[in-house]
Amino acid sequence: MSAKIRKIAVNVEETHIEIGLTIAPPTRKAVAVAVIENPFAGRYQEDLGELMEIGAELGALLGQKCVEALGITPAQAESYGKSAMVGENGELEHAAAILHPKLGAPLRVAVEKGAALVPSSKKMGSPGQVLDVPLGHKDAAYVRSHFDGIEVRLNDAPRANEIMVAVAVTDSGRPLPRVGGLVASEAKGEDGLR
Amino acid sequence: MPDVTLRKIVMSREEIYHEGGPVADTPLLRGSILAIIQNPYAGRYEPDIQGFMDDLKPLGLQMAQKLAGYLGGADLVQGYGKGAIVGAAGEIEHGALWHVPGGYAMRELLGDAMAIVPSTKKVGGVGARLDVPITHINASYVRSHFDAMEVGCNDAPRADELALALVMTTGGRIHSRAGGLAAEDVNGKDGLR
């Protein structure tokens, strides 16, 4: 069963100056969102397998969209995140079914490797509401410079019977990281943590 | 003459497959690019501001090229619009400086598009959103191409900034069926019909 996609949005944000300092090269973040029909809107469905398959499909598609929008090779991706917002006729568990069982593996193919847990957020929502997608380093969750987030919203989604599914990918950390901790160049990237 | 100081670029692209009706073979693309720059006139009344229009021209052209590329190339673009959000320490007149560099950059890039570029502007705080109007690039009356796209950025415009927007589409509304002048009937002489 493949997702019934109404629209896909891809946003790219580049920061050239932060608090007066030039950022060269600019830090860049992308977020890709698919607005899909919720096959289980308006009823309780015990088996959420269909949404899990949709998650797998969207992990690949949205991961590729981000990498393509950034104009990088998959290996150049540095951090990632995922989120979902479920329209009012669905339930929060629908977001969990899309995000957690199967979305990660194909996303990791799209960004090459990805030893770390993909940070996530989810909520119920309505058209125009903001979804904040958390970001963390793709190979070592403790890399402190890459803890970040990116906001996404669409004025016309999610409608009551829809779900918004978002994947975010960056080619960089925050513009001016200086709070210490594990740095990306010293991460081993074996256990997904350090 | 003030320089253009760019803090951020935000690009958005929507691929629209359907809106409850038949699924399109080729999705409609709607894209926007937003440049967050310093407002050189923030915090004071400056009588002579027109020189900044020339300063903005290279930025306008760069933005138009980047956005057209994001939608697959200038030859695919059928609709356009522009807008500006002026940070709170500026005045609405500063937003009007975007008319010439924003409009002509797109018209030049799109092969001398005939129609006036529809626009809107306002003064707004950080996170303000702007609904940018869109019309057909060669004939303003083409009804299928009347559209709009919302733009904005959560951390802009700050009080001393301008957020300058261009938007482009690759076609009319996804289920357009409200009649009027059709794109294929345009004579393309006066920019209107």
- In this prediction, residue B179 carries a pLDDT of 87
- Which residues of chain B have a CB within 8 Å of the CB of A5? 17
| A193 assigned to some structural domain | no
- In this prediction, residue B3 carries a pLDDT of 85
Q: Which domains does chain B have, with CATH numbers?
A: 6-185 (3.30.1330.110)
Given a cut of 70, is residue B2 above it in pLDDT? no
Given a cut of 90, is residue B112 above it in pLDDT? no
- On whether the CB atoms of residues A4 and A35 are closer than 8 A, the answer is no
- In this prediction, residue B18 carries a pLDDT of 96
Burial of A159 (0-12, 13-18, 19+ CB in 10 A): buried
- Portion 9-28 of B in contact with A at CB < 8 A: 9-19, 27
Q: For residues A61 and A78, what is the distance between their CA atoms, to the nearest angstrom? A: 18
| Structural domain count, chain A | 1
| CATH number for the domain harbouring residue A47 | 3.30.1330.110
- In this prediction, residue B40 carries a pLDDT of 97
Mean per-residue pLDDT, B145-173: 97
| A194 assigned to some structural domain | no
pLDDT band at B119 (very low <50, low <70, confident <90, very high): very high
- Portion 32-61 of A in contact with B at CB < 8 A: none
Within chain A, which residues score under 50 in pLDDT?
none
- On whether the CB atoms of residues B166 and B130 are closer than 8 A, the answer is no
- On whether the CB atoms of residues B63 and B41 are closer than 8 A, the answer is no
- Selected for mutation to probe chain B from A2, A4, A11, A148 (highest B CB count within 10 Å) is A11
- Closest CA–CA distance from residue A16 to any residue of chain B (Å): 5
What are the tens digits of pLDDT across the range B166-176?
999 999 999 99
B19: nearest CB among A6, A16, A155: A6
Tell whether A160 lies on the interface with B, counting CB pairs under 8 A. no
Given a cut of 60, is residue B1 above it in pLDDT? no
Query: Under 8 Å CB-to-CB from A51, ≥6 apart: which residues?
Result: A39, A40, A94, A97, A98
- In this prediction, residue A38 carries a pLDDT of 98
pTM comes to 0.88
ipTM confidence score: 0.79
Structural domain for A150, as ranges: 5-186
- Portion 126-165 of B in contact with A at CB < 8 A: 129, 150, 153-154
Half-sphere exposure of B23 (CA within 13 A, CB side): 8
- In this prediction, residue A83 carries a pLDDT of 96
The three-state secondary structure class of B22 is coil
- In this prediction, residue B189 carries a pLDDT of 86
What are the tens digits of pLDDT across the range B16-66?
999 999 999 999 999 999 999 999 999 999 999 999 999 999 999 999 999
Half-sphere exposure of B54 (CA within 13 A, CB side): 5
In what helix (H) or strand (E) does residue B60 lie, and over which residues does it extend? helix B51-70
